[in-house]
Amino acid sequence: MTTETLPNELYETQLTEKATRLNDMMAAFRAPTAEIFRSAPQHYRMRAEFRVWHEEQDLYHIMFDQLTKEKIRIDHFLPGSELINRLMVAMMDALRPSPVLRRKLFQLDYLTTLSGEAVITLIYHRPLDDEWREHAGALRVALREQGFKVNLIGRATKTKVCLDRDYADERLPVGGQELVYRQIENSFTQPNAGVNIQMLEWAIAATRNAGGDLLELYCGNGNFSLALARNFRRVLATEIAKPSVEAAQYNIAANGIDNVQIIRMSAEEFTQAMEGIREFTRLKDIDLTSYNCETIFVDPPRSGLDDATVRLVQTYPRILYISCNPESLCRNLATLGQSHTIERLALFDQFPYTRHMECGVLLTAKKSINPATN
C-alpha cells in the first residue's frame, strides 16, 4: 500500500467481511451480534518494521510480498502513522550520505506514539563500534533539530546500544482520563492506538457495575489494568516478560494508581499456584485470600488459553476475554460455553485490510460460582 489515498469503499468492504466472518464463527455459541469498532482507514499503525535495501548509492525501505516474495520499495507507508512516514523520509535523507551508518544496515524498526514521541532501532549485520556511536549520536541530534522527539537504538548480534533511552511515553485519552503508558522498544504494545482506546473504553463499559476485585492474566505493560482499575476495589495482574512488568510498574506510579498489584509470573504458573501444585516465593507477600475476585480478564497470545488456565478461568462468575485469534478463542469457548453465556461480543479492527481479527467477549456464569480467590 504505497498510494497516497485509499478509497473508503475498500475499507468498508473489508470491515463488513470481517464482521460477517466473526458473527458466523460465534453463532455456534449463541453470541449476540458483534459490536463493531472501526479503525482509521490509514495512518493507524504506531509501529512498523522495514528491511533496508542497498542499491549502489541509493538506500530505501522495502517489504516483501507475502505471496510472491517480491521486494516492494516503500517510500510512503499508508498504514503507518503520519509520524512514521515523516521519519522514514528523514532517516533515508540522513543515512544515504553516511557510509558509517548505512554499512550493513539490515532493518529499521519504528515505534511512535500519539503523544509525538518515537524510538527508531537500527539493526546491523556487523559489530557497532565507537565510530558508529559517534555518527548515530550526530544523527539523533540532527533529527531532534528537525523537531522530532526521537530516541535511537543500535542492535547487532548480542548487542544493544541505547543512545539515550529505549522507550517512548504514550498518552491516551480513555473514558475521560488521560493515561500514561511507557512503551519499551522490542516489547509488545498495541499497534493501533485509535482502536486500542476503543478497546479500553469497551472493557470499562463491560465491567462498569462489576465491583469487587479483578484478576488479570497476561497484563503486558498494564494497558488494560490501568484503565479498568477505576471499576474495581483492587486489581491483581500477572505478566511474565520482565520489560513489560517494569513498564507496568512505572505506569502505575505515573498515573497515581494505588489499587493495582503486578506479579511477575506466567498465567500457567499462577494457575499452578492457585491449584496448589507449586509454591512461588513471588507470592509470599501477597495474601490471595484477601482478594474477592468475581471478574477475570484475559488477553492471551494467539495460541489462546491452555487447558489448565481455562479451568481456572471457568471458576469466575464474570470473564472478560480479549482475543487476537478467533480460532483459538472458539476452542476455549467450547469449554467456557458449558458454564458461561456470552453477553457481549465485539470486533476491534486493529489490522485493516488483513484477515486478522481482534475481538472481545464478556461471559457470565449460568449459575452461581465461588471465585477461586474468594
Residues pairing with 178 in the sheet: 173
**pLDDT value of position 369:** 59
Q: Which amino acid is at 104?
A: K
The cell for 60 is: 530505501
The pTM assigned to this predicted structure is 0.92
Domain boundaries, the chain: 8-41+192-365, 47-168
Low-confidence ranges of the chain (pLDDT < 70): 1-7, 368-374
**pLDDT value of position 2:** 43
Tell me the CA distances in angstroms from 21 to 27, 144, 347, one per residue in order: 10, 45, 10
At 317-367, the pLDDT tens digits run 999 999 999 999 999 999 999 999 999 999 999 999 999 999 999 999 997
Residues pairing with 173 in the sheet: 178
Specify the CATH number for 47-168; select among 3.30.428.10, 1.10.240.10, 2.30.250.10, 2.40.50.1070: 2.40.50.1070
The cell for 219 is: 497484563
**pLDDT value of position 361:** 98
In 3-state terms, the chain is what percent helix, strand and coil (to 5)?
35, 30, 35
* Residue whose C-alpha cell reads 532517516 in the numeric block: 91
Q: Are 119 and 113 in contact (CB under 8 A)?
A: no
DSSP assignment of 239-293, as one string?
E--HHHHHHHHHHHHHTT--SEEEEE--HHHHHHHHTTS---GGGTT--GGG--E
Q: Are 244 and 220 in contact (CB under 8 A)?
A: yes
Closest CA to 230 of 195, 262, 205, 249: 205
* % of the chain exceeding 90 in pLDDT: 83
Domains 8-41+192-365 and 47-168 share a fold: no
Angle, alpha carbons 287-292-293 (nearest 5°): 105
Closest CA to 303 of 321, 319, 326, 320: 326
**pLDDT value of position 5:** 63
Of 239, 269, 294, 358, which residue is the catalytic one? 358
Q: Which helix (H) or strand (E) holds 366?
A: none
Of 324, 327, 330, 359, which residue is the catalytic one? 324
Query: Strand 149-156 to strand 159-162: parallel, antiparallel, or no bridges (unpaired)?
Result: antiparallel
Is 162 a residue of the active site? no
Specify the CATH number for 8-41+192-365; select among 3.60.21.10, 3.40.50.1100, 3.40.50.150, 3.30.360.10: 3.40.50.150
**pLDDT value of position 193:** 97
User: Is 64 exposed, middle or buried, given 0-12, 13-18 or 19+ CB atoms closer than 10 A?
Assistant: exposed
At 42-60, the pLDDT tens digits run 999 999 999 999 998 899 9
**pLDDT value of position 275:** 72
Is 324 a residue of the active site? yes
Residues pairing with 325 in the sheet: none
